[in-house]
């Protein structure tokens, strides 16, 4: 806990990452797949001399640039912004490990930008060959930037031998982690599939000429189906190379169960719709059909992204950074000296507000317990903020403790704190016994009573 | 509270030598400053000229507005480099500062997105309908200009707070719940904030003046006549004069009115004195070149010199900023004694890709240049 914690009421700060990254993923995959679509199709249209198709592609390119160059780029920077704000320690580790990966990716961004603008603004002014070539330069650069960022996001799920420390902590070990290949395959598939769905939606809304629309429907069905296959293959590889805790989490947590079933169901629906729709019956491509296809695809994608985030718990970077912004190596030390003492900002907080708890420039556990109840609660809340708020809202909101405590007795609540990692999605309790008392005091103030009126057979005393 | 206790040193290794980090940070910021200046002050000027200018003014306004989407795209992109290197080596001060103002820091993303689309709305309106474009498009352009000014203000907040660790404790006390930052602080009470913000606007006026000439002499060379160029030179002279005066005023306020005396002493003493002086007087050089150039249709060499000088002005500014930032942070951050383990092979990969990337972009630009109409058309 070297950094201050950012308190976002109800939502929790990390959920902002989820919100922005889902939006970004929905656009950035299109930035890759759509680029490939434009490169392939423009070349095809030139070869077949299909003017009507070229006109459509130009309109599509405009839409493409407006969405990807602006919103894709800004939301990408936005993710970087939010991870720095809500997971600063993990961001620090990622940047110190991968700075040259990002710097290299950045070069590809510049190539993408230049290519995208030239491709669009000089449409019809370059020779056909050069124009198509620039489309391909864009597509290739975009795909390479996908590969580069995937190395980094895959690292967070399973850094492989890098996390063992020592000489294995080099860039290449980190980059070519066990999750790298499966995720690259899945994301490439995602790019192909998602962009086909956007193409369908755009084409069905803007093209009147049925023949042209049918041609687009059937031509884009192939990359879409290929994409679905790659997603499946990559998904299997992803699951195979998950660390055991993540595999277990997928099987154990009820919400994740539902999401996994949902993602399979949604993917299956998309696949079937693609087959019976655009592939076999291109004429079906009405705006309504395209929109539902697109919606199912977006739902599947968002679910996938959410699961990818969720299974990492209690880590931000597996075996490297815990979600409460400490290294696993610090846990034993913090159990000895105290969580408040070990955190830069928590220590400063105690020093300013409760100087009476400081003995020899250290926070003394025994002094903490002597504080009046309301101060114990106040310090318990500090512990909650710095130890729990990355996953739990307080009284109400996302996974709120007020509700998860189920009106349990003080003794049981204290017991949950002591054995926090008995649920292994949670980091171990990293404070002293005295601090466990303080946070329990606080938790009891937000603990909602059991709902009234339940009759479960144990309340015989009251029932006549 | 001692501010020192809010910053702790990092355990992880720095993957590049600190001089490398600082060099790319300052170079990246200089490169970012060119397009950033153009949307910072240039956008306002272009909108004004397009609304109220004479025919030449309207023409330049329309040109710059149509170039703006591309300028913004590259400018944002170029901003990634200095931010990456800032986070790399200054993380222990950058993250706390931005967390204290988290909502405002995040608002930058929203404002940039809106401003960016505003710029597109105006530019594409111009392209399709010319001056007859819809009123909402015009309004969007003006909103974009205001949003960019706000973004500059927020950046000045974040970076001045990064540099002034002694301001954290108070802001934290006022903007926190149980020791956790609510992210609602702004560094308003910092006396350096406003002059910093204004300083950049002054520089931006100068960069816009130079761009006006570059555009008239190179990009628009086949479409504008001598009369337009004469107008451009005379406006550029006025604009640059305002820029230089503005820079001098805001700079003096910044240096004499807000710097800690210790910083001032160091910056006005060996070895930094030459840098301080050079930064202060730098705008005089492009200004003098501009004023003495007179007018001539084909002043390419002089103009190249002026543009280079303006690049130097921005570069010196970035360098001085870097030095002052380090001086302010010295008591808190052990910049030079961080554990370092250089990642050589990734570093080489980056440099190689960088050179190849420049080649590819150069090739594409050359293809475009070949396709442009020749002067005889």
User: For residue A336, is it within any domain?
Assistant: yes
Question: CB–CB of A99 and B183 under 8 A?
Answer: no
- Best of A27, A100, A105, A354 to disrupt the B interface by mutation (most B CBs within 10 Å)? A100
Pair A283, A192 in one domain: yes
| H or E stretch at A363 | strand A362-363
Q: Write out chain A residues lying below 8 Å of B181, CB-based.
A: 4-7
Note the pLDDT of residue B185: 97
Question: CB–CB of A344 and B346 under 8 A?
Answer: no
- pLDDT mean over A370-383: 97
Give the residue numbers spanning the domain of A291.
14-322
Q: What is the DSSP letter of A321?
A: E
Which of A174, A122, A135 is CA-nearest to residue A36? Answer: A135
Note the pLDDT of residue B136: 96
| H or E stretch at A202 | helix A180-206
- pLDDT mean over B16-36: 95
Question: CB–CB of B81 and A347 under 8 A?
Answer: no
- Best of A59, A76, A97, A106 to disrupt the B interface by mutation (most B CBs within 10 Å)? A106
- Residue A362 CA to residue A338 CA, distance in Å, equals 10
- A250 and chain B in contact, CB less than 8 A: no
Residue B345's alpha-carbon distances to A177, B16, B78, B339, in angstroms, are 17, 11, 24, 19
Q: Among residues 51-90 of chain A, which lie with CB inside 8 Å of chain B?
A: 66, 69-71, 73-75, 77-78, 81-82, 84-85, 88
Phi–psi pair at B250, nearest 5 degrees = -65, -40
- pLDDT mean over A399-412: 94
Q: Give the side-chain half-sphere CA count within 13 A for A216.
A: 33
Question: CB–CB of A122 and B182 under 8 A?
Answer: no
B59 contacts B228 by C-beta, under 8 angstroms: yes
How far is C-alpha B273 from the chain's CA centre? 24
Closest chain A C-alpha to B176 CA, distance in angstroms: 8
- pLDDT mean over B324-334: 92
Pair A307, A341 in one domain: no
Neighbour tally for A140: CB within 10 Å:
18
- Residue A182 CA to residue A232 CA, distance in Å, equals 10
Give pTM, 2 decimals: 0.94
- Best of A77, A132, A137 to disrupt the B interface by mutation (most B CBs within 10 Å)? A77
Q: Write out chain A residues lying below 8 Å of B365, CB-based.
A: 114, 118
Q: Give the side-chain half-sphere CA count within 13 A for B72.
A: 32
- pLDDT mean over A396-411: 94
Strands (E), B147-219: 176-177, 180-181
B80 contacts B31 by C-beta, under 8 angstroms: no
Note the pLDDT of residue B10: 62
Pair A149, A278 in one domain: yes
Pair A312, A173 in one domain: yes
Pair A127, A186 in one domain: yes
Confidence of residue A306 (pLDDT cuts 50, 70, 90): confident
ipTM for the assembly: 0.93
pLDDT at B2 over 60: no
- pLDDT mean over B244-259: 95
User: In this structure, what token pair is assigned to residue B293?
Assistant: 């150039």
Q: Which residue has the tokens 């006390």?
A: B173
Q: What is the DSSP letter of A253?
A: -
User: For residue A260, is it within any domain?
Assistant: yes
Q: Among residues 279-308 of chain A, which lie with CB inside 8 Å of chain B?
A: none
Pick from A110, A130, A347: CB nearest B5? A347
pLDDT at B296 over 70: no
Pick from A69, A104, A348: CB nearest B349? A104
- Top-confidence residue, B298 or B125: B125
- A91 and chain B in contact, CB less than 8 A: yes
pLDDT at B9 over 70: no
- Residue B61 CA to residue B303 CA, distance in Å, equals 20
pLDDT at A249 over 90: no
Count Cβ neighbours within 10 Å for each residue of B8-23 and write b for 16 or more, e otherwise.
bebebebbbebebbbe
User: In this structure, what token pair is assigned to residue B326?
Assistant: 């380090």
pLDDT at A299 over 90: no
Closest chain A C-alpha to B123 CA, distance in angstroms: 12
CATH number at residue A208: 1.20.1630
Pair A349, A277 in one domain: no
User: For residue A8, is it within any domain?
Assistant: no
CATH number at residue A332: 1.10.760
Confidence of residue A297 (pLDDT cuts 50, 70, 90): confident
Three-state SS at A315: strand
Pick from B14, B95, B180: CB nearest A96? B14
CB-based burial label for B37 (10 Å; 0-12, 13-18, 19+): buried
Q: What is the pLDDT of residues A69-128, one digit of tens each?
A: 989 999 999 999 999 999 999 999 999 999 999 999 999 999 999 999 999 999 999 999
pLDDT at A258 over 70: yes
Q: Among A248-262, A360-374, A439-453, B217-231, whose mean pLDDT is lowest?
A: A248-262
Q: What is the pLDDT of residues B44-65, one digit of tens each?
A: 999 999 999 999 999 999 999 9
pLDDT at A21 over 50: yes
Note the pLDDT of residue B3: 43
Q: What is the pLDDT of residues B91-101, one digit of tens each?
A: 999 999 999 99
Q: Write out chain A residues lying below 8 Å of B350, CB-based.
A: 100, 103-104, 107
- Top-confidence residue, A59 or A170: A59
User: For residue A146, is it within any domain?
Assistant: yes
Bridge partners for A315 per DSSP: A322
- A19 and chain B in contact, CB less than 8 A: no
Which residues, 6 or more positions from B26, have their beta carbon under 8 angstroms from its beta carbon? Answer: B82, B315, B318, B319, B321, B322
Phi–psi pair at B14, nearest 5 degrees = -80, 125
Note the pLDDT of residue A271: 81
Q: Write out chain B residues lying below 8 Å of A92, CB-based.
A: 10, 12, 87, 91, 95
User: For residue A454, is it within any domain?
Assistant: no
- Average pLDDT over chain A reads 91
The interaxial angle of helices B193-214 and B135-163, nearest 10 deg, is 130
Pair A169, A244 in one domain: yes
Last residue of a domain, one of A265, A294, A322: A322
What is chain A's Cα-based Rg? 26
| H or E stretch at A369 | helix A365-370
Closest chain A C-alpha to B61 CA, distance in angstroms: 20
Pair A280, A417 in one domain: no
Residue B195's alpha-carbon distances to A8, B153, B200, B225, B255, in angstroms, are 32, 11, 9, 40, 9
- Residue B152 CA to residue A114 CA, distance in Å, equals 25
- A95 and chain B in contact, CB less than 8 A: yes
- Residue A267 CA to residue A157 CA, distance in Å, equals 22
Last residue of a domain, one of A272, A293, A322: A322
Residue A20's alpha-carbon distances to A81, A293, B38, in angstroms, are 10, 23, 28
- Best of B364, B366, B371 to disrupt the A interface by mutation (most A CBs within 10 Å)? B364
Pair A208, A272 in one domain: yes
Classify the C-alpha dihedral A364-A366-A370-A371 as positive or negative. Answer: positive
Q: What is the pLDDT of residues B172-200, one digit of tens each?
A: 999 999 999 999 999 999 999 999 999 99
User: For residue A246, is it within any domain?
Assistant: yes
Count Cβ neighbours within 10 Å for each residue of B175-209 and write b for 16 or more, e otherwise.
bbebbbbbbebbbeebebbbbbbbbbbbbbbbbbb
Confidence of residue A156 (pLDDT cuts 50, 70, 90): very high
Confidence of residue A39 (pLDDT cuts 50, 70, 90): very high
Question: CB–CB of A111 and B80 under 8 A?
Answer: no
Q: Write out chain A residues lying below 8 Å of B339, CB-based.
A: none
User: For residue A464, is it within any domain?
Assistant: no
Q: Write out chain B residues lying below 8 Å of A378, CB-based.
A: 178
- Average pLDDT over chain B reads 92
Pair A353, A368 in one domain: yes
Pair A247, A271 in one domain: yes
User: In this structure, what token pair is assigned to residue B107?
Assistant: 């608002």
Which of A59, A40, A48 is CA-nearest to residue A120? Answer: A59
Which of A15, A54, A2, A27 is CA-nearest to residue A393? Answer: A15
- pLDDT mean over B34-52: 96
- Residue B164 CA to residue B176 CA, distance in Å, equals 19
- Top-confidence residue, B44 or A2: B44
- Best of A64, A82, A345, A386 to disrupt the B interface by mutation (most B CBs within 10 Å)? A345
Bridge partners for A6 per DSSP: B181
- pLDDT mean over B285-306: 84
- A147 and chain B in contact, CB less than 8 A: no
- Residue B226 CA to residue B295 CA, distance in Å, equals 10
Closest chain A C-alpha to B13 CA, distance in angstroms: 7
Q: Write out chain B residues lying below 8 Å of A4, CB-based.
A: 96, 99-100, 172, 176, 179-181
How far is C-alpha B373 from the chain's CA centre? 33
DSSP of B138-162, one letter per residue?
HHHHHHHHHHHHHHHHHHHHHHHHH
User: For residue A66, is it within any domain?
Assistant: yes
pLDDT at B376 over 70: no
Note the helical H segments in A241-323. Answer: 244-252, 254-274, 287-310
Pair A278, A373 in one domain: no
Question: Looking at the 3D structure of chain A, how many domains does it have?
Answer: 2
Which residue of A lies nearest to B127 if distances are taken between CA atoms? A121
């Amino acid at each position: 806990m070297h950094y201050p914690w950012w308190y976002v009421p109800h939502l929790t700060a990390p959920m902002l990452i989820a919100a922005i990254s889902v939006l970004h993923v929905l656009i950035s995959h299109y930035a890759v797949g759509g680029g490939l679509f434009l490169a392939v199709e423009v070349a095809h249209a030139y070869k077949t001399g299909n003017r009507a198709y070229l006109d459509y592609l130009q309109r599509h390119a405009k839409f493409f640039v407006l969405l990807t160059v602006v919103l894709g780029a800004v939301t990408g920077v936005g993710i970087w912004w939010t991870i720095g704000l809500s997971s600063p320690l993990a961001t620090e580790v990622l940047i110190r490990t991968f700075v040259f990966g990002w710097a290299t990716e950045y070069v590809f961004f510049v190539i993408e930008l230049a290519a995208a603008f030239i491709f669009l603004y000089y449409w019809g002014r370059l020779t056909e060959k050069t124009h198509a070539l620039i489309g391909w330069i864009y597509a290739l650069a975009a795909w390479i930037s996908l590969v580069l960022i995937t190395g980094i996001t895959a690292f967070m799920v399973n850094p492989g031998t890098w996390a063992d420390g020592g000489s294995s902590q080099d860039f290449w070990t980190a980059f070519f982690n066990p999750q790298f290949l499966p995720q690259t395959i899945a994301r490439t598939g995602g790019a192909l599939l998602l962009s086909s769905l956007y193409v369908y939606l755009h084409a069905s809304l803007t093209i009147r000429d049925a023949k042209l629309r049918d041609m687009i429907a059937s031509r884009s069905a192939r990359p879409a189906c290929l994409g679905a296959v790659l997603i499946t293959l990559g998904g299997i590889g992803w699951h195979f190379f998950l660390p055991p805790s993540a595999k277990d989490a997928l099987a154990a947590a009820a919400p994740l169960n539902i999401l996994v079933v949902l993602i399979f169901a949604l993917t299956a629906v998309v696949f079937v719709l693609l087959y019976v729709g655009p592939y076999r019956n291109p004429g079906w491509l009405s705006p309504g059909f395209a929109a539902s296809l697109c919606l199912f695809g977006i739902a599947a994608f968002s679910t996938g992204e959410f699961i990818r985030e969720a299974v990492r718990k209690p880590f931000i970077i597996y075996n490297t950074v815990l979600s409460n912004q400490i290294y696993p190596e610090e846990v034993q030390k913090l159990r000895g000296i105290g969580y408040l003492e070990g955190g830069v900002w928590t220590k400063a907080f105690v020093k300013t507000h409760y100087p009476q708890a400081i003995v020899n420039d250290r926070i003394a556990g025994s002094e903490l317990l002597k504080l009046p109840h309301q101060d114990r609660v106040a310090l318990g809340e500090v512990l909650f903020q710095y130890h729990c708020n990355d996953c739990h809202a307080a009284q109400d909101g996302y996974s709120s403790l007020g509700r998860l405590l189920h009106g349990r007795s003080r003794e049981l609540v204290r017991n949950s704190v002591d054995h926090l990692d008995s649920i292994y999605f949670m980091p171990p309790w990293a404070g002293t016994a005295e601090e466990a008392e303080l946070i329990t005091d606080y938790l009891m103030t937000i603990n909602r009573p059991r709902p009234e009126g339940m009759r479960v057979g144990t309340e015989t005393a009251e029932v006549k | 509270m001692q501010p020192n206790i809010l910053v702790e040193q990092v355990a992880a290794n720095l993957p590049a030598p600190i001089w490398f980090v600082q060099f790319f940070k300052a170079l990246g910021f200089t490169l970012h400053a060119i397009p950033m200046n153009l949307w910072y002050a240039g956008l306002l000027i272009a909108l004004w000229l397009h609304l109220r200018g004479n025919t030449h003014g309207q023409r330049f306004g329309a040109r710059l507005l149509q170039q703006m989407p591309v300028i913004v795209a590259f400018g944002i992109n170029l901003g990634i480099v200095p931010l990456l290197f800032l986070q790399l080596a200054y993380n222990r001060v950058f993250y706390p500062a931005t967390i204290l103002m988290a909502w405002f820091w995040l608002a930058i993303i929203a404002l940039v997105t809106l401003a960016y689309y505003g710029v597109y709305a105006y530019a594409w309106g111009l392209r399709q309908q010319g001056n007859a474009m819809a009123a909402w498009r015009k309004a969007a352009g003006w909103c974009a200009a205001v949003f960019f000014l706000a973004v500059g203000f927020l950046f000045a907040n974040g970076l001045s707070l990064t540099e002034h660790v002694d301001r954290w404790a108070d802001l934290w006390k006022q903007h926190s719940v149980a020791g956790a930052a609510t992210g609602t602080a702004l560094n308003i009470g910092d006396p350096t904030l406003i002059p910093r913000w204004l300083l950049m606007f002054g520089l931006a006026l100068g960069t816009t003046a130079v761009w006006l000439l570059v555009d008239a002499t190179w990009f628009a060379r086949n479409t504008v006549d001598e009369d337009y160029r004469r107008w451009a030179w005379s406006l550029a002279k006025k604009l640059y004069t305002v820029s230089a005066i503005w820079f001098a005023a805001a700079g003096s306020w910044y240096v004499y009115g807000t710097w800690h005396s210790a910083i001032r002493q160091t910056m006005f003493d060996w070895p930094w004195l030459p840098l301080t002086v050079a930064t202060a007087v730098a705008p005089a050089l492009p200004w003098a070149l501009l004023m003495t150039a007179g007018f001539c249709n084909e002043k390419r060499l002089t103009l190249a010199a002026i543009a280079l000088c303006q690049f130097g002005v921005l570069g010196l500014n970035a360098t001085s900023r870097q030095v002052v930032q380090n001086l302010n942070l010295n008591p808190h951050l052990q910049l030079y004694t961080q554990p370092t383990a250089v990642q050589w092979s990734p570093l080489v990969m980056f440099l190689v890709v960088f050179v190849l990337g420049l080649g590819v972009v150069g090739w594409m630009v050359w293809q475009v240049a070949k396709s442009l109409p020749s002067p005889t058309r």
